[in-house]
Structure 1
Amino acid sequence: MSLRRPTRLIRPFRRRRTVLAAATAAVLTGGTLAGVLTATAAQEETAPGAPRVRAEASARDLAPAPVSVVQFVSHPDDDLYFMNPDTAQSLADRTPLTTVYLTAGEANGVNARPGLAAVTAPDKPAYAEARQNGIRAAYAEMVTGDRTSPWDRTAIPTAGGGSAELDTLRGHPGVRLVWLQLREAGSPYGDRPHSLRGLWHGRVPALGSLRAAGTPVGADFAYSKEQVVATLTGLLDRFRPTFVRTLDPTPGTDARTGKLRDHQDHAYGARFAQAALGRWAERPGHPRVGVQSYVGYPNTELPRALDHRTAGEKLRSLRTYAWVDGTDHCGSPAGCGDLKMADRPEGRGWTGTVRYARGSSTGWLQPGADGGLLAFGVLDGRLATWHRAPGGSWRGPERLPGGGLDGGVGTVRLPDGRIAVFGTRTSFAGPAGYRREVVTVEQTAPGGRFGAWRSLGTPGKRDEADRTPDVSAPAVAVDGAGRLALFLRDGDHRLAGRERTPGGAWGPWRSLGGADLHGDPVAATDARGR
């Protein structure tokens, strides 16, 4: 986490077309659709005209693994600012939870309140240790009510060939913290080749470690891009989550400055996690996993989403992390928390909100042809469907072949009664090693199986730039004449759209204007068929 100057919120643009559409920001406080399905998205396409394939269901799908959560964040405190209160809810539910911190969070090494920073000597290993102490205190307090509850700290080998620190809350072994201790960028937006972003783009062959002062990890190491992905995949193998939380891998860029809207470590740490999840999805025998990504810095620009009591509980954990009271309750020479944040533990309004980067619409539910219900989500980056017959119980999931789907699938019933599903798919290809496109699949007959995935491309032509991947989940609706309208927030944070005629022919992408839109669009058809 690092701070930036807040910017002015611009109201979403609205335009009336054949179908009414509006871009909105999601205001949610809980987890994803875990009650009915564990949902986000990631999916792969079969070329148009390829043989149609059946969805698959197995006994393992119908007998889900025990619930377990893994959170991937880049810095100590990203989880407290951007994933809470969801983190606290998992802990209150006694769900096994492991948080993985990719970097040491050493910044400039100065652990002092802002007024004393100029007279405090920098010590990066000590500052990294102080932030660890603050996180351990905050988690202990959330679980036990006592921030001094002890932890067991050990070093574990990683699949990338290095070592990581594993902290386990004594008496609550399901609560674990993993510290990979890679060097952070040291700047939210600046050009830093020795960073997760530089490593992703091949600007450096390896990224070195920055070990905290008190860590049990005994030797320095360095990881290549492949070793980071292997390390995160190995942690998924070790902790076997059924649900994963990350920050937003595609926060987009500011149209005025060209800079990322979020800290570069946030975005690229999430991309490394996304790549590891894609690899883990191919491992046989792993539990089916859903993913939710969270908005980081852009929360500054958006309205509050939490009630005062929940926001107050979130702030309490951050005050503990920031060591506001200055009491020595950890016995560490490095300090017991992050004093940089002691004068402003609320950050830039982040304690008043939590927002999901994708998957905030209600388009995942449709009436079935038999009078029952069909629900749609994403497991292992594949489209998953659940069915409830009239008067019956939910059955599923059945998963379609393919991978790479992102969170936030939308569905629509076509004029002939078939259901079509729309989403976006991420692939790790091209010069930037990251590409996203809109994909769709539809039933071959009303109530029937789904056919092959088809790519609809993206509104922009900058597939290798940071902007293009930052497209929203799509919203779709059918008008009174049978035309299907698809809406998307593009990488420049404007509204874009594409229409399909009743005969099935798609028109080109068109810009619908707007400025500084956030969240996923929503589309609906009114009583007059517009």
Structure 2
Amino acid sequence: MPRLRLLALPLATALLLGACSNPSDVPSNSAGGSAKGGLSAYMPSNSSSNFEITSLPFVNSLSFAPDLCNDAQDVFFVAHQDDDLLFMNPDIATAVSQNHCVVTVFLTAGDNEYGTQQYGLDYQQYWRNREDGEREAYARMSGVPNTWTQQIYTFAGKAIRTSVLQGNPRVRLMFLRMRESNSSGVSMRALWESSDPTLVAPTMDNSNTFTRQQVLNVLTNVLTVSEAKYVHIQDTAPIVYGTRSEHPDHIAAGRFGEAADKAYTAPHVTVQHRDYNIGVEPYNVTTDQFNTKVGAFKTYANYDPIICPPSGGVGCVAPGESGGFYVEWSWRQYFHVDVTQGGSVARLADGRLAAFVIGDRSSSPLKMVQTTPGGSTWSAWEDLRGNYPAPPTVVNMADGRLAAFERSNSGQVMVKTEVSSGGAWGDWVNLGGVVSSIPVAAQQANGTLVVFVRGNDGQMYIKSQLAPNGGWGGWAGIGGPKFTSSPAVALDRFGRLVLFVRASDGAIYTVSQSAPSGGWGAWQSLGGSFGTDVHPVTGRDQDGRLEVFVRGSDGKLYHRWQTPSGGWGGWSKLGDVQFTGSPVAGSNQDGTIAVSVRSVGGSVQSIKQTGPNGGWGDWSNLGGSFVSLIGAMPDASGRLMTLARGTDNIIYRRGQNDTAWTGLQAP
């Protein structure tokens, strides 16, 4: 894929503007006074160490040099030094190894005032050492010397201490240095939880003061300047599994990150990483990943004596010892799964339906199938393995076997296929790419699969099987404007694939193959003005004409349809039901399209055509209390089967003409 061009000032220029020959902090005048750039010098009265705010150069803009980032920029927001190494790895190490640009922002200084008092440590020097430990850990993950350029960068009017790894300038660490909650004074947590918008938190080095909004402004500006494509935050709503409660700083940092993420409107992927509660889950990283992860953490731990108090070192970072939970965390990485994102429904070759979701504790795709074609009972969940925060897209190959597609956290497309229809599954295969949308796949007229993604440059890309059920060719771009949504695709009555996607101007665009299994024509705007979180959905009339459905800015359902001549009708609103998420569309036994949505009240509402290829009737309230729709598809009996996830986390089904929902089981 083409490389993404970033901000105008190359990083090489930025480094020259403020190069510092000493990779560690530069001592300032011990007599006090003001540091350069307007920062007030600060000597902690309760510290025996002799450091002050250092005289570092200011650089007004930090940018990546063109082509530096391999089309991928990851930003990690964490509360403390070590949260990233324990809970966001191996994602960080993987991103570094794949030449992503990696920005980690530490919201607190990790000062731990009461902990340092307990062990008789120098309070002020302690958090400085933790920053040094992070720098060496990232240098180790990068495989380069531990030599850093230290500078001050301005984000949203605040001077933020930033370290740039000289041997790999894709890697930078930023330190906001607010107090953690295990300390006196106004902490980062207090800022988030306070109802007083004027509450001010001074930083540990007195270089800044922050209100809650100012923290959000800084974090949002970091995302904007970095042109983040993957945003990683801590768990915003952790569930306590076992006996260990979550650290309140983790939650507050996660919610700060979530708020900044929502304010950042450029297309990107968001991943929430679980923290303490991963310790009760099965191991899910490979031995190589574990060795990288625990090695980076041990490197850091040499700078943090509270890891192995009171003498420090890494002797306790071993199974069965007092600090063995560090090793247990190093064997795991789990995600907070957003259950509102739904799932996928597909049909096996024998006619049985299969539902796919991400397990909210397993972080891996799960599959549940009808026990008999058209039957009322379903199997237990089968774990398809993998480590993903979003559900897969699942389609049939030419021989009827299912293929599941995922996007890894490093932005690559992964595929896993059945070995035999309804039987075992093979391993996940990496199809490459650097993408920022869920992959969507469809079978074209000649039986080969085509997978569609939005690249990190905002363009649409495709990859096709070289033969039915076979291997894959390379990625190819199909042009068009900048896009912001995941794509939707379907075969039209001429046997051509037709693609739909929302562009940055808010309109829905479409492009179709020029012939069955052929090349692609010109993009056409279907108009409209839809929100950034809108993803189009397709339906197919009985005569093969396509319809496209979207949620309007008023939260109501809109559609356009192909005309018999091949053109498109205008946008039309279908009633006044307001809903959240994306609609799901399927075909009834009589050939009519039915569209279901999750209303703002949580019930499922459905609307269908009055006849095949015809107009639309009124909305029907199917009731229930749900968090998301999984999908809808006719089963072997021809009945449209709709599946949804209840607020009790149980998956429910409702077939056409059923009068009630039937609970199956929780994933």
TM range (shorter): 0.5 to 0.7
Which residue does the alignment assign to 1:180? 176
Q: Is 1:442 the equivalent of 2:584? A: yes
Q: Who is 1:150 aligned against?
A: 147
1:207–1:223 CA contact under 8 A, matched in 2: yes
Query: 2:137 corresponds to which residue?
Result: 138
User: Offset at 1:91?
Assistant: 1.0
Q: 1:245 offset after TM fit, Å?
A: 1.5
Higher strand share: 2
Could you tell me which residue of structure 2 aligns to residue 199 of structure 1? 192
Cα 1:84/1:144, change in 2 over 3 Å: same
| 1:82 positional shift | 1.0
Report the 3-state secondary structure (helix = DSSP H, G, I; strand = E; otherwise coil) of the residue aligned with 1:355.
Answer: coil
Establish whether residue 237 from structure 1 lines up as the match of residue 242 from structure 2: no
- Superposed displacement of residue 348, structure 1: 6.1
User: Are positions 1:89 and 2:72 aligned together?
Assistant: no
Deviates more, 1:473-482 or 1:350-359: 473-482
User: Comparing both chains, which one has the higher relative contact order based on Cα–Cα distances under 8 Å and sequence gaps of 6 or more?
Assistant: 1
Aligned Cα RMSD in Å? 5.1
With normalisation by structure 2, the TM-score equals 0.48
State the Cα distance separating 1:344 from its structure 2 match: 2.9
Aligned partners of 1:275, 1:155: CA distance in 2, in Å? 24
Match for residue 644 of structure 2 among 486, 503, 514: 486
Q: CA deviation at 1:476?
A: 4.7
1:346-361 alignment to 2 at 5 Å? 347=326, 349-358=328-337, 360-361=364-365
Task: Give the whole-Å Cα distance in 1 for the aligned partners of 2:490 and 2:290.
Answer: 37
Residue-by-residue CA offset, 1:126-147 (whole Å, 9 max, x unaligned): 221111011001001111254x
State the AA in 2 paired with 1:301. Answer: V
Cross-structure match for 1:12: none
Distance 2:133 2:225 in 1: 25
Residue 76 of structure 2 corresponds to 71
Tell me, what secondary structure is at the counterpart of 1:153? strand
2:72 alignment partner, SS class: coil
Does structure 1 conserve the Cα–Cα contact (< 8 Å) formed by 2:235 and 2:254?
yes
* Cα separation, partners in 2 of 1:180 and 1:404, compared to 1, 3 Å: farther
Contact 2:274 2:334 in 1 (8 A): yes
Task: After TM superposition, give the deviation of residue 196 of structure 1 in Å.
Answer: 2.6
Shift of 1:201: 4.9
In our comparison, the structure showing a higher alpha carbon Rg is: 2
1:127 maps to what in 2? 126
* CA–CA distance in structure 2, aligned partners of residues 453 and 132 of structure 1: 48
Please tell me the residue identity of whatever aligns with 1:202: S
| Secondary structure of the structure 2 residue equivalent to 1:483 | strand
1:276 aligns with 2:260: yes
- Does the 8 Å CA contact 1:250/1:267 hold for their aligned counterparts? yes
Aligned to 1:432: none
**1:438 offset after TM fit, Å?**
6.0
In 2: Cα distance, 1:450 partner to 1:164 partner: 53
Distance change (3 Å), C-alpha of 1:388 and 1:245: farther
1:136-188 C-alpha deviation (Å, 9 max, x unpaired): 01001111254xx21111222231x432111001132211001111222229x
CA drift at 1:404: 5.5
Query: Over residues 305-333 of structure 1, what are the superposed CA-to-partner deviations in whole Å (9 max), with x where a residue is unaligned?
Result: 1122321221111110000799xxxxxxx
Equivalent in the alignment of 2:167: 171
User: Where do residues 394-433 of structure 1 align in structure 2 (5 Å cutoff)?
Assistant: 398=502, 401-403=530-532
In the aligned structure 2, how far is the partner of 1:378 from the partner of 1:438?
26
Asked if 2 retains the 8 angstrom alpha-carbon contact of 1:108 and 1:122, the reply is no
Displacement after TM superposition at 1:475 (Å): 4.2
Residue correspondence of structure 1 range 300-339 to structure 2 within 5 A:
300-323=279-302
Indicate how the Cα distance of structure 1 residues 280 and 453 shifts in structure 2: closer, same or farther if over 3 A, else same: farther
Structure 2 CA distance, aligned partners of 1:156 and 1:144?
26
1:139 partner letter = Y
Deviations 1:351-385 (A, max 9, x none): 00112222643533446485555668999997411
Shift of 1:194: 4.2
Percent of paired sites with the same residue = 21
Q: Residue 226 of structure 1 aligns with which residue? A: 213
Could you say what secondary structure the match of 1:321 adopts? helix
Distance 1:340 1:279, change over 3 A: farther
- SS for the counterpart of 2:271 is strand
8 Å CA contact 2:96, 2:102 repeated in 1: yes
Structure 1 residues 444 and 301 mapped into 2: Cα distance closer, same or farther (>3 Å)?
closer
